[in-house]
Structures are given as C-alpha cells and as structure tokens.
Structure 1
Amino acid sequence: MQSTIGKAFCLTATVLSLGLCTGAFADPVAHFDFITHAPDSDAWWNTVKNGIRQADQDFNVQTDYRNPPNGDIADMVQLVNQAAARNYDGVVLTIADYDLLKGAVTKLKAKNIPFITSNTGTEQQSADLGAIMHVGQPEYLAGKEAGLRAKAAGIKTFLCVNHYATNPLSFERCRGFGEAIGADTKASSLDVGTDPTGIEAKVSAYLRAHPDTQAVLTLGPTSADPTIRAVTKMGLAGKIWFATFDIDPDVAKAIKDGTIKFCTDQQPYLQGYIPIAMLAIMHKNHNTDVVAARTELEKDPKFMKRLESYGLKPVYEARNISSGPGFITPQNIEKVSALAGSYR
C-alpha cells in the first residue's frame, strides 16, 4: 500500500489516501475521512486499512485514513474538528473517549456531514453522538465471553495485560473477563505501554511477583507478542492459561503450538470495509437509510464472496453491525492463520 504523510493544519497526523493511492481510478465519486485513535506503531490496524482500501476500489471513492501518530486522544479530537472544516462527504471515527469526542462531532452535525462509528465505543454511545450506525465489537461482552471460557477451565486469578490504557474501553475487556471468573479486575490489570521490551519485562516481573496467577489475558498483538516471549522464557508456555484479543502471525503460531488457548476475533477487515461501503451506498442514493443501504450491501456479490473466502461473519442488528466477538481456536487456526494480518 502506498501512502502519503502530511501535516494536517498545526497537528501532525498520519494521512493515508487509501483510494487514490491504488491508482485504480482518477475521479472518485465521494471523499471520506476515516479517523482512529491508533498510534502508528499498532500494526493491527493494517487489516482495517485493507478493508478501507478494498471498499474504495469497489465503490469508486477516496478515503483518507488519519490518526494521531502517538495515539493521543486529544489530537484525535482535533482531527475530527478538521474533518468538519474540510467538508468531507462522510466520516468514520472510533469512539476512543466519548466525553472528549462528543463536542467535536457537533461540528460534523452542524455541517450535515454523515458519520459512522467503528471499532471502539458502545452502540449506545454511537447513538448518543448522533452517528448513523456502529460497526464493532461490544467490548464488555467480548471480555465476558472469553472469561466464561476461562471459568469453565477452572480459572480464578488472571493478569490483564493492557497496552492501550489511554482508551477507557480497553478496561471493558478486562472487566468482562474478570467478572466472568469472579476476580478483582483492578488488581489484576497492568498498564504496560506499547514498547515490546518494556511489556515483556513488566509481564515477567508481575508473574514472578504473583506466582499464583493462573491465567494471562492480552488485549491485542502489541501486548500478546511480548507476553508470548515472556511466558516462553519463564518456562510457562502451555502451562499458564493464556488467551488474547486479535490475531497476527505470532499469535497464530502460539495457538498452533499450544501457548495460547484462543484468540477473540473482532474481524477488523469488516470494521474498515463496511463503514466505507455504507457511506458510499448512502451517498449514491442521497439518503441515510441504514436498512436500505445494508440490504444493498448484502446483495453485492463481491462483498458476499469475500465474506465466504475470508471466513468473516458480521452480525446484522436493527441499526448496527457487530463484527465480533468470534473465536480463533486450534480447530480453525489453519484457515485463519493464512489470512492473519491481511483479512483477519
């Protein structure tokens, strides 16, 4: 994927013009903005970008992917303000911090710019902000579903390795898991930052100081990969109960060799593709009828073929689309691992 790096007003942000960078077309029918809270270092978002890029090609639109390079939520708010000033045809944004974003989205509404929320945030928060719809994974539910699997295995104590504690919703994953097994979530959560060496050291130190820890839960590849190294070096691989969110090649390998029990999958490709596809369809039809746009998308043979090829399963609700949770286990890892980092 080609990209352009630019400065947005006074705020430096990573900007990927995902539509025109492909060179597939020269005259897009609409120009959208996809704003996330993710730092440049988080490679998990590459799969989201692949979904955005494919939707751009399928619907002949251009989407700018913009994010604060260091993951600063306050900077993300400024990107939303800029989106309103630039009069995009539509915006997609993550609800990294509801309280900080609710003021910024009023500027989108004042300009009558339709927007969809994706990835983080709850469906209620999305509705309260005035978004057309939400595409994402209910975080508390995902954590709870993972925790119920742990409870069935007899787990009562755990460590939640949180690499993005700046996002309030990250704690919902930990809380859902902790409440499912009856553990003290606050005492079990560790803010580790994003530096791989630092994460490995912090996890190792915690497990040495708390040898009665039965399970480890990581919230994504950024924390999972260093934690895999930590438990392996400590001789705990396959012995400590280990689950994670989101997949990458290292997580896939760890599932295959028994280090990780399962991966909770929120299907990031869908979080990129569906919002842009919905905005494109509604722009073409000159309305914001979610049901009609979703019906049109479901009849699109290209979209349905990709769902089948990539093993993706969105859950359609009255207003929103849930992209997860699903579970990647030893039983389905062979198919999924071939797609990890690209479409899964």
Structure 2
Amino acid sequence: MNTPPPPHASARRTRVAALASVLCLLVSGCSFLGAADDGADADTAGRSGGMKVTLVTHGGKGDAFWDLVRRGAEAAAAKDGVDLTYAGDADPAAQADLVRDAVRAKADGIAVTLAKPAAMRGPVAQAKAAGIPVVGLNSGIDAWRPTGLLEYFGQDESVAGRAVGDKLDDLKAEHALCVVHERGNVALEARCAGMRKTFRGDTDNLYVDGSDMNAVTATIASRLRQDSSIDEVVTLGAQYGLSAVKAVRQSGSRAEVATFDLNKDLVKAVRSGEVQFAVDQQPYLQGYLAVDALWLYRTNGNVSGGGTAPVLTGPAFVTKSNVAAVARFAAAGTR
C-alpha cells in the first residue's frame, strides 16, 4: 500500500502457494479467513507481478469469519496470478482510508464490504474517477448499485432472515432473541428485521459488544435470566452462537440456540445438538468470487449478474441431518 494503514491496522506480507490454492478449490467453493498472524490486518498474496487487487473489509482482528473470506480471495489470486492485498478495519472511517490507500497505490481492482455504506461512497467515487473497477461482497446488497459498484457477491440478508423466521415457526418457537453484535451494520439489522417479518412469535433485539466475547456471554445470560419466556436465541455470527450456548448454560435457561454463519467449532455444536442450525452464506466463496470477478473484468470484460443483479452465495441451512456433508470442509478451513 502507498501509505501506512490506520493506527489499529498493521501490515504483514505473505505469498500464497499455487498448490494451496488448488487444494482449496478441490475442497470446496466456499470458506472463511480473517485476522492475520501477529494481529496483522493487511496482507499481500499471490505476488507474481500481475494485476494488483486490494480487498478491504470491515472485519476486525481475530475474527475467523474474515479468515474464511480472505482464504477464498487468496485462492482466486493464486489461480489468476493476481497480487492481492487484504486489509480490514471495523471502523468505517478507517476502512474508507484503506480504500483510498488502494486508489493511491494504483490498484487494478478493489473489492469492498459495505457494512456502513455512507462511509464508502466517497472512496468508491475516487476509485471510479481513477478508472479502477470496484466490486462488493458480504455486506451492502441494497447499497452496492447506488454506491456505484460493478458487481456484488453475497447473501440477501433480508431473505435469509425471513427463512430463519420460517424455520423457527417450524420448530414451534414462540419468543426469539436476535443478538446483534455490531450496532448500525446494515446486514445484521436486515437479518433481524427479516426474521421478524415471518416469525409468528415475538422477536426482541439484543445489542452486545461483539469485540468482547465474555461480555457477549454475560449480556445474553443476563437477558435470559430476566425473561424466562425466551425460548430461542438467534445470533448473527458463529462465534456468538457458541457464546449463546455458554449463556444458556450459565443462566439455566431452556432456550435453544441458532445462528447465522459457520466455522469448525460451530459444526461440532450442530453435531452435538447444542446449536439447532446455522445459516451458511459461504464467505470463502464471497472472497473467491470477488477477486476472480475483477480478474475476469480486467482480462475479458466479463460482468457477473449483468451489473444489475447480485450473485447470491446463500442462504443454506446446516442442521444435524446434513452437517456431516460440510464438516470436513469446515475442518480444512474453507467452510
């Protein structure tokens, strides 16, 4: 990158081996990756002197979900001979600065998440003015076209939320707690709102500090103690689902737990029955498709979805009945 990242974003460079990418592709078409080793938030991979792509997410350090996104991006970069830089920051202003860094570094393509769309409008406009194509992934399905992005890869969070609401009805739940770990994140809010539209029972939102896992567990447990009518806790990230399992135990509640997103530990919880189901949006696939799409656009003029429709990567339900089919991929770090 041309300028130093923000204070809480550091840099680390790694080279992705072609063999590793081939293995990833053979294993699956979707997966996660996030925080870099030693707390780094920026990485380069697939360095071959080819086109330069920067992936900028709102993922913070130590988040396994974003590890999956980055692994998918790295696999595509290795396949396509792309020099990939990954950078992430949960602060929207800092994320915007990372996009501006990519513009100054004359990236050939930029992929961004739009958890806070307003913060991205200016940087995306700067990229477009510089002739740099920008695609979106993961967050911002309702904002990618107004923001001026070329393509979008992700899950329709409202649709996913409505599907969860229907699922809860099938499970005879009556009172759900939707745990939001990042206030103002449009994707997370859409999940809870979608669930509320179809679920025939009551739905309450509970806002927690997603950066403090102990606090997440304590806050959920406290709410369960206060309201014994809550019979379902729905979290919006795999690690928070595992925290909810702990909270149920600590509180003595009889509530069931369900969650959005997946990782290898969550797979074990689904297998054991501690978590009823997970909604898989395939983050590995999101990262892979975003990088591959920029390469295809630059080398062949291709635009997925015709530039008007998103490419959907989810939702898919993972339950005790089908979890074995994805368990080995999760163990390999690609689901």
TM-score range, shorter chain: 0.7 to 0.9
Go from structure 1 to structure 2 and tell me whether the alpha carbon gap of 1:16 and 1:340 turns closer, same or farther (over 3 Å shift). farther
What is the aligned counterpart of 1:53 among 27, 49, 74?
Answer: 74
Query: Aligned partners of 1:219, 1:45: CA distance in 2, in Å?
Result: 14
Deviation of 1:74 (Å): 1.4
Paired with 2:6 and 2:172, the residues of 1 have a C-alpha distance of: 53
Alignment partner of 1:148 is 2:157 = no
Matched, 1:139 2:157: yes
Identity of aligned residues (%): 28
- The alignment status of 1:97 with 2:116, answered yes or no, reads yes
Report the counterpart of residue 308 of structure 1 in structure 2: none
Indicate the SS of the match to 1:44.
helix
**Aligned counterpart, 2:38:** none
How far apart are the structure 1 equivalents of 2:316 and 2:117?
25
Length-normalised TM-score, structure 2: 0.85
- State the alpha-carbon separation in 2 of the partners of residues 146 and 14 from structure 1: 37
Q: Which runs of 5+ in 2 are unaligned?
A: 20-45
Q: Find the residue that maps to 2:229 and give its secondary structure.
A: coil
The residue type equivalent to 1:322 in the other structure is: L
Instruction: Give SS of 1:264's match.
Output: strand
Counterpart check, 1:39 vs 2:30 = no
Shift of 1:232: 2.9
Tell me how far apart the structure 2 counterparts of residues 23 and 323 of structure 1 sit (CA, whole Å).
Answer: 24
Instruction: Normalising by structure 1, report the TM-score.
Output: 0.82
Residues 203 and 218 of structure 1, relative CA distance in 2, 3 Å threshold: same
Q: Distance in 1 between matches of 2:273 and 2:99?
A: 43
Contact 1:161 1:192 in 2 (8 A): no
Select the structure with the greater relative contact order (CA < 8 A; seq sep ≥ 6).
2
Partner of 2:216: 199
What's the counterpart of residue 246 of structure 1?
261
One-letter code aligned to 2:137: S
Q: Aligned partners of 1:86 and 1:161: how far apart in 2?
A: 39
1:160 aligned partner: 178
Post-superposition CA distance 1:106-129 (Å, at most 9, x none): 10111010011000111x411111
Q: 1:6 offset after TM fit, Å?
A: 11
Deviation at 1:166, TM superposition (A): 4.4
1:227 is matched by which residue type in structure 2?
A
Aligned twin of 2:314: 324
- 1:62/1:110 CA distance change after superposition, 3 Å: same
Which residue in 2 is equivalent to 1:297? Answer: none
The aligned counterpart of 1:228 is: 245
Give, in whole Å, the separation in 2 of the partners of 1:8 and 1:14: 8
Change over 3 Å in CA distance of 1:108–1:207 after alignment to 2: same
Describe the SS at the equivalent of 2:186: coil
Gaps of 5+ in 1: 295-315
Q: Given that residues 16 and 64 in structure 1 are in contact (C-alpha distance below 8 angstroms), is that contact kept between their aligned partners in structure 2?
A: no
For 2:47 and 2:192, the matched residues in 1 are separated by 45
Cα gap change, 1:276 to 1:325, in 2 (>3 Å): same
Residue 270 of structure 1 is matched in structure 2 by 285
- Judge conservation of contact 1:159–1:190 (CA < 8 Å) in 2: no
Q: 1:84 matched to which residue of 2?
A: 103
SS in structure 2 opposite 1:275?
helix
Cα distance in 2, alignment partners of residues 140 and 26 from structure 1 = 37
Partner of 1:307: none
- Give RMSD over aligned pairs: 2.4
Change (3 A) 1:233 1:338: farther
User: In 2, Cα distance between the equivalents of 1:54 and 1:188?
Assistant: 37
Q: CA deviation at 1:12?
A: 4.3
1:7 and 1:232 mapped to 2: Cα distance?
A: 47
**AA matched with 1:253:** K
Q: Which moved more, 1:102-111 or 1:226-235?
A: 226-235
Cα deviation per residue 1:234-280 (whole Å; 9 max; x = unaligned)? 444xx423210111233112211212111000001111101111111
Offset of 1:16 from its aligned partner? 5.3
